[in-house]
Amino acid sequence: MGNIYDDPSFFQAYGQMDRSRKGLEGAGEWHQLKRLFPEIKGKDVLDLGCGYGWHSAYAAEKGAASVTAIDQSSRMIGEARKRNPDERISYQVCALEEYEYPKEAFDLVVSNLVLHYIADLEGIYRKVYRTLRSGGDFLINIEHPAFTGSVREEWIRDGEGRALYWPVDDYFYPGERRTIFLGEEVVKQHHTLTQILGGLLACGFALTAVEEACPDPAVLELPGMRDEMRRPMMLLVRARKE
């Protein structure tokens, strides 16, 4: 993640989001993502871009032998230590690009909503492949390329504010995208579907699950949720080092 998460006003606004206040149950994609987790009991887990540490805590609850959780934001790590303390979780302030990725040290690597901040996606893939043991899994939640490839990640709306359509432009030009998130300009990286999935295959991974996140039918009547059926926001991928 970028340093925007260490900005006090941005961090305070982030803390008001449902996924910040309610944990995993407040994340709209959790009903799908949790089904993609492999067996965790007795495994060593690496959580890349751990945020508040919700996925690290989930791994610990499911019996992980150890969890290494890294995040570039010192504020995020501080909050994670407070909200999800567990003696099996080791929190560390560190950027994804700078982590050492020890060889064959983990059985599961989780990356939730952080890879769309990374310019060299395949570089991270190669490091994850190295740090996984044979048979280990890489579980990814990344912003969908139809979302990052849009125009400032916003609907085109009519005069009454109704969402007319979701614009996608310059799709095949990967790289920096600037958008407004929680009232602040945030820099993200757009990657095409070919880069996201093909990059994993090029690094030696086998794809074992690919899902586009969509709302749980149980919450479709909540405000704005039906519009979430009109375009994908997140892409969930599980890949294995065979």
For residue 22, tell me if it sits in a domain. no
Rounded to 5 degrees, φ, ψ at 54 are -65, -45
CATH number, residue 158: 3.40.50.150
Give the per-residue pLDDT at 19: 65
**Does residue 182 lie within any of the structural domains?**
yes
| Domain contains 19 | no
Range of the domain at 103: 3-14+27-240
Count of domains observed in the chain: 1
Asked if residue 32 belongs to a domain, the reply is yes
**pLDDT computed for residue 182 by the predictor:** 72
Query: Does a structural domain hold residue 21?
Result: no
In a domain, 234, yes or no: yes
How far apart CA 206 and CA 240 sit, in angstroms, is 5
Domain contains 20? no
> If the chain, 242 residues long, is cut into consecutive pieces of 10 residues, what is the mean pLDDT of each piece?
61 62 83 97 98 96 98 94 95 97 98 96 98 98 97 94 96 94 86 98 98 90 86 97 96
Determine the residue type at 128.
V
Q: Is residue 110 part of a domain?
A: yes
What pLDDT is attached to residue 177?
95
pTM: 0.91
Confidence (pLDDT) at 220 = 81
Asked whether the beta carbons of 86 and 60 are under 8 A apart, the reply is yes
